[in-house]
Amino acid sequence: MISRFSTMLCAVAATVVAALPAAAQDTVRIAYVDPLSGGGASIGEVGLKTFQYLADVTNAHGGIAGHKLEIAAYDNKMSAQETLVQVQKAIDSGIRYVTQGNGSSNAAAIEDFVAKYNDRNPGKEVLFFNYAAVDPILTNEKCSYWHFRWDANSDIKMTALTNYIKTRPNIKKVYLINQDYSFGQSVRKEARAMLNAKRPDIEIVGDEVHPLLKVTDFSPYIAKIKASGADSVITGNWGQDIALLIKAAADAGLQVDWYTYYAGGAGGPTAIKQANLPDRVFEIVEGLSNEPYAPAQEFEKAFRAKVGVTFSPPVSVFYPRAVNEVRMFVKAAEEAKSVEPTKVAAKLDGMKFTVYDGGEGFMRSDDHQFFQPMYIANLGPLGKNQPFDEENTGWGWKMTGKIDTQDTIVPTSCKMNRPS
């Protein structure tokens, strides 16, 4: 019948379009799989431009083991199933390296898929470079030899944060508020456990979870924080959940210190400046450019001039870990004298590296988690020799604490299946 014929016509058309040309042999391509449309696109775009900039810089310095480096963008629309479809498309067009960071659910999907794919297709292995998905599960229960994580996972960040809090006797009453999903739950669980171990004198006066990205009015939560008498708040909130939280705090005139994971995200510094909370909002980061380390400062300046200004408000180097990722990839390929994934993986396994901000880091063999020095930064008016502000607010991130690599180490339950 006519309609069934048209069905088949559609399918045939689809196959024609699906035939993609294979890539040139001398280019190494990394598939960047993150949201490029819809709600998460504003963050996805920043990551994409960052990686593209890093590829340009790498190519200007001779490429990767003699090959050109290219970033291929794939829009996963923030959906785990779509992520798998896009990764499949990337693999079909000959790509052997996938990088992703926004959303641990998508990262878990990729990690699972890559492990199964490599198992079922020996000789065609694919590597997964995770630059921002911080759920600890990815290097614990769900760990895989083919997955490498450059972002300190949320347990590491909490370890670093609580080690910093250990040195601050003025913190006495802590309030926890987090998003009710796996990441938020792990933040509050680890916060409780680690604070209890390192500073048993600190009283945890509140432990709140709220549904993810659904709350539009945080004033009731602010009221509870006020009522509890807390002097510090620890929160893993990101996106609009941190922006609205800070806004509500400013509205109500709440004066506490905020220890956050993601207050520096797009729109964050603007919200903090608007809320007029100088030097009260802290963030745990793996690199910051107002530290006097010349190579990082040069990189930051060049990055802002080329990429930062293409965004409004302008962005800074959000992802020092992406810089580490690409640089270590290049180093591994050069040591292995090959861009073959199995050889690169073998070199990355256990690699030691001088990170973006000076300081030594290493990729732990047991679970492929990268460990590096962490910094506690807070946002406020800049002093001299602090040239970088955020989003044209005039305020920037300044270091208030540094935690050495050795003090960020957490144990792992990973039982990795290594290829023979």
Report the residue number, 220 or 387, with the smaller CB distance to other proteins: 220
| Residue 206, both tokens | 């509140």
Annotate 116-145 with b (16+ C-beta within 10 A) or e (fewer). ebbeeeeeebbbbbbbbbbbbbbbbebbbb
| Residue 131, both tokens | 């630059």
> What DSSP line would sit under 352-385, residue for residue?
EEE-TTSSEEEE-TTT-BEE--EEEEEEEE--TT
What is the footprint of other proteins within residues 310-339 (CB under 8 A)? 310-313
For residues 7 to 26, the per-residue mask of contacts with other proteins, x marking binding by CB under 8 A and - elsewhere, is xx-xxxxxx-xxxx------
Report the residue number, 75 or 291, with the smaller CB distance to other proteins: 75
| Binding of other proteins by 238 (CB under 8 A) | no
What is the footprint of other proteins within residues 24-83 (CB under 8 A)? 36-39, 41-42, 45, 75, 77, 79-82
Within 10 A of 203 (CB to CB), how many other CB atoms are there?
15
| Binding of other proteins by 215 (CB under 8 A) | yes
| Binding of other proteins by 368 (CB under 8 A) | no
Which of 105-113, 321-329, 331-339, 341-349 is the region at the interface with other proteins (rule: CB under 8 A)? 105-113
Which positions ≥6 away from 200 have C-beta within 8 Å?
Answer: none
Shortest distance (Å) from residue 167 CB to other proteins? 30
Shortest distance (Å) from residue 4 CB to other proteins? 6
| Residue 375, both tokens | 């910094």
What is the footprint of other proteins within residues 134-173 (CB under 8 A)? 135, 137, 142
Which positions ≥6 away from 217 have C-beta within 8 Å?
Answer: 244, 248
Within 10 A of 364 (CB to CB), how many other CB atoms are there?
19
| Binding of other proteins by 216 (CB under 8 A) | yes
Among 147, 188, 247, 364, binds other proteins (CB under 8 A): 247
What count of Cα atoms within 13 Å lies in the side-chain half-sphere of residue 387?
10
Report the residue number, 317 or 376, with the smaller CB distance to other proteins: 317
Shortest distance (Å) from residue 384 CB to other proteins? 28
| Binding of other proteins by 294 (CB under 8 A) | no
